[in-house]
């Protein structure tokens, strides 16, 4: 029964984080005025806007693929940590009268990716050379 709930919770957070990141790609890739404003204010226009968009696309795909969910979640965590950092330091929570919507989206994705990283940590642990480390400790 616990595996079933983990699977349901996992899919809820996978869809939530991927959908939010994917829906913002249109604005980043089409140079929507709000995106251009944000990245200009950060001194990262256009390369930052496009690069972050590519990163979010990769994170979303990895999150939606069951075998790579944890890796996409870690990438999403990093991207959203950057977004939250810039909201709190340079942009403000409210950007161009958006009532804090972009900040809330970044926070939702960050929390979703954090939950996914914990739920799917075994995917990451499989790639760590733990057995080699344990042999050296003995």
- Choose the weakest-confidence range: 2-6, 93-97, 111-115: 2-6
Of 122, 27, 112, nearest to 63 by C-alpha is 112
Q: Say if CB 61 and CB 88 are below 8 A apart.
A: no
pLDDT at 29: 97
pLDDT at 4: 86
Tens-place pLDDT, residues 10-19: 999 999 999 9
Going by pLDDT thresholds of 50, 70 and 90, the confidence category of residue 129 is: confident
DSSP state of 102: H
pLDDT at 75: 98
pLDDT at 38 over 80: yes
pLDDT at 138 over 80: no
Q: And the tokens for 137? A: 């400790």
pTM, two decimals, is: 0.90
């Amino acid at each position: 029964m616990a595996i079933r709930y983990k699977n349901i919770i996992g899919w809820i957070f996978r869809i939530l984080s991927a959908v939010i990141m994917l829906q913002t790609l249109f604005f980043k890739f089409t140079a929507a005025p709000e995106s251009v404003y944000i990245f200009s204010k950060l001194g990262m226009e256009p390369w930052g806007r496009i690069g972050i968009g590519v990163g979010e696309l990769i994170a979303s795909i990895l999150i939606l693929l069951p075998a790579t969910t944890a890796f996409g979640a870690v990438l999403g965590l990093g991207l959203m940590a950057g977004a939250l950092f810039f909201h709190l330091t340079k942009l403000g929570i409210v950007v161009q009268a958006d009532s804090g919507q972009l900040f809330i989206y970044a926070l939702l994705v960050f929390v979703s990716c954090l939950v996914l990283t914990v739920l799917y940590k075994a995917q990451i642990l499989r790639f760590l050379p733990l057995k080699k480390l344990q042999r050296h400790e003995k």
